[in-house]
Structure 1
Amino acid sequence: MKRFKNILYVAQSSVPQSDAIVRAVSFAKSNQAGLTVVEVVPEWILSAGGLPGAPSVDDLRDRLVTNRSEELESLVESAGGGSDVEIQILFGTPFLEVIRAVLRDGYDLVMKAAENPNWSERLFGSDDMHLLRKCPCPVWMMRADEKTNYSNIMAAVDFDPPDGGHVAESDAKNRSLNEQIVSLGASISLSDFAQLHIVHAWDAPETGFASMWTDDPEVAEVKMLEAERARHHAGMEALTHQLRQQVGEESYQYLSPRVQLPKGAARTVVPEQARAIGADLVIMGTVARTGIRGLIIGNTAEAILDQLPCSVLAVKPDGFVSPVGE
């Protein structure tokens, strides 16, 4: 099972975060992971330093560090954290400094309460989306009213197995990403006693052209749809078999994951499924060309993120290179 070792929780004073940091402290303990709580103070705040009657820039910086550190220490203590939780105050552009911290200090998970910009139904604000797009490690964005324990967790996987149901060797990166998504879903579901839903959206738009090569397009379309669904079902069978081997038969039977294969475009059906099952958390991958800076997130993944009403754990594919440098 996936275990994290070095977790970074991103505090933001403008966002209610008491529930989110309780989750972060609890999750770090269950993973026996180190936890650092960081707050990034925008650099422009220091511009007041040196003005008539104001402290110097250095003095203002020191005061901000002291003030914010004390507040974060109190927040961590209230969340059940101890002195082993490290507190850091950084200055700069929030998402840039967070990503640089990940690159510099080797954090393997970023947790944060979502900004919730309030001007639309979108859960994620600008800095959140920058982190979801560009942070090299998994990013767990939590609702401000985060639950102590989830009831329903949705692992959204994406693959295109060839005939026979086996994932092609050329699709190794996508297979690894799907396995990581399902593993994370299983791990959190077991710790929260939650129901795990493994969802894969599939479609067969080519069936609409059956009339071009057959005299009975209705029958041909039905056969094509049945064959396509069977292909994707076989792919899901292979994925759940891998999970069964990973967690063991007893844990797998306890998990009893519910496998769902809704037909339709992922950008539409994944958010619909999340709402239908009352998902508290959606775990999903972001599609990117690995190893190339600046090619960050697929249009489908971004469209899904814009519509989700719940917390999200976004996972990058192997080989992802952040466009943000240290």
Structure 2
Amino acid sequence: MKHFRNILYVSEPLVDQASALARAVSLAARHEAKLTIVSTVSKIEPEYLDEEVAFQRQALQDLAVPHGQNPNIQTDVLVGSAFREIIRAVLRHGYDLVIKAAENPGFLQRLFGSTDMHLLRKCPCPVWLMKVPETPHYSQILAAVDVNPVRSDETETTLNSEILALASALAVSDGAALHLVHAWEGFAEGIVRRWSDKSPDEVATYVEMERQRHQSGLSSLEDSLQKQVGEEIYSQLRPRYHLQKGAPQREISAMAEKLQADLVVMGTLARTGVSGLFIGNTAEMILEQLPCSVLAIKPPGFISPVKLDE
């Protein structure tokens, strides 16, 4: 099962983050991990900076008070652009998870704000954005997976494995139901219907063949998860598998709403590898529609565009 050793919690003072911090503290204790709580301060005039940093340090200490004198909990104040300094802290100190309460910019009618989206695009370690108030125990966890029925893709396989590891570990610890969701499309279906001389039955046969290929890919993930967690834990999890026909950006968010998911675990990098594209268009559209917390994971080999020496 997945274990974290060095967790970074980013304070979000614009929302009531007590429940999000409580979950971060609980997770760190369960994993026997070090937890660092940070806030960020924009660069301001030098004569005001020290005072603002001191104020933020006191605010962080006050935030940590309900969780007692825990030597594994530290605090720090980062100075500069919020997302850049958070990512630099990850690069500098080797954090393996970033947790943050979502900014919830209601005037934009979406859950995640500017700093949130920058972290989702550019942070090299998993990013857990929590919709507050955060429930102390999840009931429904959705793992969004992607399978290529045509050829095996090592990056995709590794990313799916990481998604399954995190989702299953959280489902076990919270006693939550685990749902694996894969959305698929028959990409040539529209062309075949409009421009070919195929009969409706032939089109239906093509679509069914595509469905079966994606079902086979999802079944292989079922086998992989069984091997990953072991028979005993798999029997305890009893995961449910959902093969949804339609565009992922529509089906994943719709399933999250239908299942009343507390958390969606998903990958966030485009498969295309286009230079400068650090989050897939599909993933970004899904994120903008999600009604719940999200745990977002980069594939192996991802290199953040943010550098320590900038």
Q: Same fold (TM over 0.5)?
A: yes
Provide the residue aligned with 1:185 in structure 2: 167
Deviation at residue 80 of structure 1 after TM alignment: 5.5
- String of CA shifts for 1:85-123, please: whole Å, max 9, x gaps: 110011111111000101111111100000011203200
Does the C-alpha gap of structure 1 residues 290 and 298 become closer, same or farther in structure 2, counting only changes over 3 Å? closer
Aligned length: 307
Deviation at residue 69 of structure 1 after TM alignment: 2.1
- From 265, 276, 280, the equivalent of 2:258 is 276
Provide the residue aligned with 1:321 in structure 2: 303
- String of CA shifts for 1:116-154, please: whole Å, max 9, x gaps: 112032000111111111111110000121110111000
**Following the alignment from structure 1 to structure 2, what is the Cα–Cα distance between the partners of residues 82 and 136?**
27
What does residue range 231-250 of structure 1 map to in structure 2 within 5 Å? 231-250=213-232
| Gapped regions of structure 2 (runs ≥ 5) | none
Provide the residue aligned with 1:18 in structure 2: 18
- From 149, 152, 159, the equivalent of 1:161 is 149
**Following the alignment from structure 2 to structure 1, what is the Cα–Cα distance between the partners of residues 29 and 306?**
30
- Return the letter of the residue paired with 2:19: D
Answering whether residue 74 of structure 2 is matched by residue 86 of structure 1, we say: yes
- From 96, 103, 106, the equivalent of 1:118 is 106
- Return the letter of the residue paired with 2:23: R
- From 127, 134, 138, the equivalent of 1:146 is 134
| Gapped regions of structure 1 (runs ≥ 5) | 50-56
**Following the alignment from structure 2 to structure 1, what is the Cα–Cα distance between the partners of residues 136 and 176?**
12
**Following the alignment from structure 1 to structure 2, what is the Cα–Cα distance between the partners of residues 128 and 22?**
20
- String of CA shifts for 1:228-281, please: whole Å, max 9, x gaps: 111111111111111111111111011011100110011111111110100110
Answering whether residue 186 of structure 2 is matched by residue 204 of structure 1, we say: yes
- Return the letter of the residue paired with 2:186: A
- Return the letter of the residue paired with 2:15: V
- Name the Cα RMSD after superposition: 1.8
Provide the residue aligned with 1:294 in structure 2: 276
**Following the alignment from structure 1 to structure 2, what is the Cα–Cα distance between the partners of residues 255 and 81?**
35
**Following the alignment from structure 2 to structure 1, what is the Cα–Cα distance between the partners of residues 66 and 241?**
38
**Following the alignment from structure 1 to structure 2, what is the Cα–Cα distance between the partners of residues 289 and 161?**
14
Larger Rg: 1
Provide the residue aligned with 1:101 in structure 2: 89
Provide the residue aligned with 2:236 in structure 1: 254
Answering whether residue 69 of structure 2 is matched by residue 69 of structure 1, we say: no
Deviation at residue 81 of structure 1 after TM alignment: 6.6
